[in-house]
Structure 1
């Protein structure tokens, strides 16, 4: 079954800072009418008329960008009459924003640069910060990420300096988008996490929805679809509460893709219906094409092939109109699968060829884009490094200036202190002369006192030296005793460690021997499984069938048989070198084998492969070639040669807690049937495949005790046979692949 194509687009945020403190307006016809009335009452070409024209442009742009273009053009036409030049720079930015809506990027860049020049001439810092951010947005829209970063970083610095938290948050989101495009998801997440609290603080709902949507995209890229759904639903809830239909359409489409990817078709259809309704209304063809493809995938999962085909054809039609290669590839692969399920091999083959051609084209484009992205990554890193070096240099210069200022202050203070010190020295000299006379008398008395103290000190020193010698002796004895005890304990510990290490080595050797023996048994079992699956009898029969179709001049059927046989052989050879493989590969090999057997026996039986919706085949592991012998026994010993008109083989997979339950059932002669009972039992008992299964189940239980089992039982009403294999749930990374 083909995988759905999720339509996800990283949203771009930008804000027009036309006037400081300008009031945000909503797209309402009543407001436009009110502004138009005020404009009629203000015919004079002055600052007031310029302000009204810019407000009217901001409102009209949301409904009709081409019509809105006339208003900033009129302001620029009489810009010489305008006293407040902030309105002139605002007119340039308004015109640039309209050009962005119309995807006329060179003209948008020119208008933003014109506005930035006006703001710099009047030193309007708010306008300069807005101009830098908007120029960076133009470059980011054109995927020139290194150029965009050159403008975003200084814009962020200015917004933080101006303490404009809301605009700083918007720039943070745009920088996060640049990091997302450059695949630096951790840095992108940090920027989004900084911006979200600011948007919540100012109740900026549009910013909140964009951040939540980008959170969802990051989790999708990391294959965490449940977290992606959580954030996408939060964005959708905000969009619905504010009446933002474009954001609501985008998130409904994303949720449809997420649920389709999780194999939950009903939820995919529910959200996809809402997205299609809005996208048809606003004529968003590209989004509509991805919505149709998600619908096709959902109906395919529900086995409604007629509707799946219809929506896939609509998606392919739109892909060709808007020339979207990813959508064309998904739609052509979907149609190939649908026609295969409808047993229309010719149509399936034609669309499969279209899928391969489109895939090869995309692969070539992706290689070119990867080379371009690597070059852009180099420029991106170089730009960021240069900016950081400039920032460090500027901070160093500022610190140097601060230090110089502090040094000047210190020198001034030092001069004042020296003046005060000179005055104090003059006073001190007078006091010193008086003090000398007093000291002379005191020194004479001290000499006598010192003589007595020296005698006492000499006696005390002799006594102290004796005590110190005794302390040294006791200390040396204590150290020697302590060293003796430590050496004994260290030797004792070393002997114990050597004994323990020797014991561990013996145990490891025993475990390695057991592991090697287990691996040898497992390899022998897998080799027998390969021989069972690709036995010479099966290969001979398939080649005979191919020869028969060629002799009957049925080259198309022979070609299909050769292709499927080649695909099956390649899968078996690829899977045979691994102990555990992704379940989707094993599932595909089983379907190819069963389809070959059905074609070889002229479609004398039908078959079905089903698994529980919550099971993601690509994320779990299965032992290769474990289930195929059960299908072979069901065909050869249960159905073929028994003249059963409604012969059917069913293969199902279910998950019960941490156990996978795989059933292979048929409605053939059964275990206890008297018809050919002796022959059947003899063949089944001697089957190399069943013996291999039992051996591999035994080996799995050695590795995962009690987690695997195998049983064969009679079908309902004593008709047919049901073989059941229980295996542990092993995710990618939990076993050898």
Structure 2
């Protein structure tokens, strides 16, 4: 027995331009059971794991690497592993055992040859944990105690929950192989507590099933997220569900689960599972009593199995033969078992891994052929097969089959009328029963000692787990103490932050109050300006009526109503589109010119390049300046004056509105006013200044107003420049 696992060291140099090596076809030697191959794919220079690498096995198995670069896949000895990824050349490797594979790949540079290689995992390259786990897997089927000891040693070297999970998973695998299903369940559960993996969940569900915890098995199967499974895993899940339903005699549910699995297997060409599921559908229909449907599925599974390896083909032949026996179709049963015997002989000459517990033993098949002939009352044909079964069972120390075949031979001699031979055979049978009884006693004693050793090993591992949990508790306690020490510091910092937040909220509140006050002030100022404007307009209407000019008064009143409607619509807004303000100003200037035609003419010029709708302006901002120009400048001019309103763009985000008049000017107008008029004018212009000031405070200097003399003549006139900035 080997003391340490051999690590494979295979270097595969794949050069650009070469054809991909053809897949190796399975031959007669590829008859071993499936096992799990674990692997890791990393970059050769940085050792970084490569996720989402495609892993395939000829025959339908598929997997992919996770974020840690790791993968698992079911395979047999001799299967070819194909590793594909967009960033490196495809790698092929023939599986030799349940080895742990490490794949190191170099970047796919066009100017360099592409290199992919397998590297061995040695103690110098990795920590002790991985070699110990590999050793446990090597001895898993050879020496349970030694394998468990390696797991115990690996757990003492484990440094992460990931490693703990892997160790307990392998420990569960050991117990599964040695049929200690309750211990397998416990260790799979611990593995899942450390790290949740779909593969381990499927193993736990199977362990529950074998331990006859059927409801727990169903719960685990149904709790698995099907969308996260590989195609192989999804097929295995449906197969496992079908097995549990079949054992609980829920035949319809069993058939439904098998059919779901078969659909996935067919879609993704998972050949082995297609064969298995057809066979299990046959078993389910047979258990339900629908033998005709069962026969159809068994025929399919038998045909599919014949296209696989010899061992799988003979296994299916025996299953179908058992079905023919149950349906009393002895002729077909005998034919299938004879064909199976020939194949079993070939397998035995090529390999030596068939033990007495396997159904693929010649003594069992000869016994069943003899029993089938006896059921047909063909005693002469039955006797040679039963004798051959007894002889082969004796050579292989298979007391169970030797006993059953001897008993059946005694019955056949009796039914054939050969009573002396029947008596001799019966005496042999009694001796075999005594031998078997003694052997069973020894096996029970050995099993008790084995179970005792297993429990002792498990208790040691459980103590390691308890020690680990205790260490974690101490670590958590020290963390809690550190947390309490930090809590005071964090509390002080939190208090400071709360003070800062409180100050910020207070500042925000004050700012909001100031904004509310500004809005209230603006509303108040607008409410003061509107009566002044309406009062002046009504005076004009009154003058027309007083002069008995009703038609002119009516026309003026109509235009005035339009103006008043526009003013009232905009009275609640801080800003309105410049386009609206221009229409309002044009209407207002038209009304004033209508009244003072003999005093002034006016022009309104807007630069064609200005996009008027892009700018906004406070409502009724320009009207007071136009009103002042007319009422206090142009009205007192001896000659006919001129009022110009022009809008020009000086910058991309700025325009200037210029209002000029060549009236008597501000100084002369002031001299003509009475003391009461001077106070009113001062109050009106003051309101405008306040509005501009509040708006600039709220909207960051959006409006600027400049008032100056227009010209250096006797009638100096007035020039008002309003600057508007775009948002």
TM tier relative to shorter chain: 0.3 to 0.5
TM-score of the pair, normalised by structure 2: 0.39
Looking at secondary structure, tell me which structure has more helix per residue.
Answer: 1
Structure number with higher strand proportion: 2
Larger Rg: 2
